[in-house]
Amino acid sequence: MDDNSGTSAQPASGAEVERQRMDVDIVCVGFGPAMGGFLTTLSKQILQPDGTPAIESSALPGMPLQVLCYERADDLGFGVSGVVTRARALRAGIPAFETAGIPMAAPVSKEKVVYLLDPIGASRRSMALRAADKLIRASRWVLPFEHGGLELPWTPGFLRKQGGWVLSMGQFMQWVGTQVQGTGAAQIWPGTPVASLLIDDDTVAGVRLLDQGVDKQGRPAEGFMPGMDIHAALTVVADGPVGHIGRQLDTHFGLPDGHSRRDWAVGMKFVVDLPADTSLQPGTVLHTFGFPEPEIFGFLYVHPDRIASLGIFVPSWFDSPMRTAYRYLQHWMLHPYLHRYLRGGRLRSWGAKTLGESGRRGEPHLAGNGYARIGEGSGSTNVLTGSGVDEAWATGVQLAEGVLELLRTKKTFFQRELGTSICPAQAFELGRSRGPRRGKVPGRFPSWGGLRNARHGPGRSNRRTRIGPWRAIVSP
Ligand SMILES: Cc1cc2nc3c(=O)[nH]c(=O)nc-3n(C[C@H](O)[C@H](O)[C@H](O)COP(=O)(O)OP(=O)(O)OC[C@H]3O[C@@H](n4cnc5c(N)ncnc54)[C@H](O)[C@@H]3O)c2cc1C
């Protein structure tokens, strides 16, 4: 076993500790949209309507399948997280989606892409872009130009979210968690970080939970409780773009030949109460580019009850050492095009999150002996559009369907079975980006150039592909 696995181990103090052990069938790491899709699908099919097991547990014979999910955040859906999504996979997985009363959800009602000119002359604009800005200002009377922003007359297809939904991921994930736990088929434990995987040679045997009650150096302190070892036939890893459990897999098993993960964008978000007299309607979606730097994208989504989620992405290919996302967010909000909506508003919460931008080149091994990966850590995010909720959910659904098939046919979760049996034929049409957004981006509008790079990637255009990483397993 790895040095940090087994039934007793060395904590940072060097002392041996006895760890409790629990055996289950499936243990899951992280409760984001990918795991939402996995557990929603699984939980519908492992119990009969009368509560008796449809699939029996191997860990506890006679009982239904034992499924545990650990989430490190203090509660489910704790992230600051307004998103807009086409929600095709979500709606397919949750038939009552539109009438379910998911808090803070609104159908997309209006969508605009806005080029923000530099109102203060402080951004790093090329000569060509400055000249273009001058031309736009000179012709502003005949253009859809207001408050320093040029509204594009159309929304490019790859950004279009008409028919989709504005969601608070926090509220949505709490809602999903309640539905899953309400079935009694799976338990979700928030506030319980997974410290590491239990790896036995080339097989993942489960997870070790984080020790509680330690000091800053990791030494046992008052209330010390060693993290439990959870042994499972299958460990599902869905710990997001830079989760350390995913990285433990990458370190132990390596990445597929020619793959690397080096590209991450930083996203900063605010959730605000808009002023009482706001003209923005629920479901409004604004995408911006051009300011505070040409490479930086902005977004503003309006939820019901005058609440908006807004923020920026600082992309991986932004070649300035001044990557102060928080300051850029402030500059962006002060742009006259946006500030007219935000002046007098009230900040509710804020936060930052990473977005993987390595595209297919960053795709890890998706399954091995005893483990499978879903969601952004498996490379599901659409780099082209910066969207990944629907895509992550779809990978979870697909894995669940494959796992159910393996369970019904009493197969094991070794790489051979996982790799060849669990790619269901059904699939959602979701755009996937093949290449990373890396390197210096040519062109007058670096933000569009970066998207173009992402779109065309290493030599192949990003035609809409049938989803996703799980397909890649059977057709490498
Ligand atoms: C600023 C920003 C804006 C975005 N906007 C959109 C948008 O508008 N539309 C869209 O579709 N997508 C958007 N995305 C992308 C989207 O958020 C992700 O693609 C999606 O959340 C990925 O889902 P996931 O389940 O794979 O991972 P995550 O949502 O990252 O969930 C992973 C979960 O695992 C937990 N976890 C991690 N490590 C551990 C551990 N060791 N133990 C236990 N739990 C752990 C985390 O706490 C987290 O809850 C945005 C991303 C960013 C950064």
Instruction: Tell me the three-class secondary structure of 386-397, residue by residue.
Output: CECHHHHHHHHH
174 C-beta closer than 6 A to ligand 1: no
Ligand 1, atom 18: closest residue by C-alpha: 388
Distance 158 CA to ligand 1 centre (A): 21
73 C-beta closer than 6 A to ligand 1: yes
The answer to whether the beta carbons of residues 467 and 398 sit under 8 Å apart is yes
Question: How do residues 156-214 score in pLDDT, each as one tens digit?
Answer: 888 899 899 999 999 999 999 999 999 999 999 999 999 999 999 999 999 999 999 99
Atom of ligand 1 nearest to the CA of 376: 26
80 confidence band (pLDDT: 50, 70, 90): low
pTM: predicted TM-score of the whole model, two decimal places: 0.89
14 confidence band (pLDDT: 50, 70, 90): low
Best mean pLDDT range from 90-99, 271-280, 372-381? 271-280
pLDDT value of residue 50: 86
DSSP type of residue 233? E
Atom of ligand 1 nearest to the CA of 382: 19
Name all domains of the chain by residue range, CATH numbers in brackets.
8-95+170-260+360-474 (3.50.50.60), 109-160+264-355 (3.30.9.90)
245 C-beta closer than 6 A to ligand 1: yes
288: pLDDT strictly greater than 60: yes
Mean pLDDT of 350-363: 87
383 C-beta closer than 6 A to ligand 1: no
Mean pLDDT of 60-65: 92
Distance 392 CA to ligand 1 centre (A): 9
Spatial distance between the Cα atoms of 476 and 473, rounded to a whole number of angstroms: 6
Top mutation candidate among 111, 376, 432 for ligand 1, by most atoms within 8 Å of CB: 376
The answer to whether the beta carbons of residues 281 and 110 sit under 8 Å apart is yes
pLDDT value of residue 367: 92
Mean pLDDT of 338-363: 91
Residue 464, amino acid: R
243 C-beta closer than 6 A to ligand 1: yes
The DSSP secondary structure of 144-195, one letter per residue, reads TEETTEEE-SS--TTT--TT-EEEEHHHHHHHHHHHHHHHTS-EEETT--EE
Question: How do residues 253-279 score in pLDDT, each as one tens digit?
Answer: 999 999 988 888 899 999 999 999 999
Mean pLDDT of 95-110: 93
Spatial distance between the Cα atoms of 8 and 21, rounded to a whole number of angstroms: 10
Spatial distance between the Cα atoms of 395 and 384, rounded to a whole number of angstroms: 18
Distance 374 CA to ligand 1 centre (A): 11
> At a CB cut-off of 8 Å and minimum separation 6, what does 130 contact?
none
pLDDT value of residue 159: 87
Spatial distance between the Cα atoms of 348 and 211, rounded to a whole number of angstroms: 32
Spatial distance between the Cα atoms of 162 and 285, rounded to a whole number of angstroms: 9
pLDDT value of residue 294: 92
177 C-beta closer than 6 A to ligand 1: no
Q: Which residue has the higher pLDDT, 209 or 320?
A: 209
Question: How do residues 399-434 score in pLDDT, each as one tens digit?
Answer: 999 999 999 999 888 887 887 655 443 333 344 444
* 6 token code pair: 């087994």
Question: How do residues 118-141 score in pLDDT, each as one tens digit?
Answer: 999 989 999 999 999 999 999 999
363 C-beta closer than 6 A to ligand 1: no
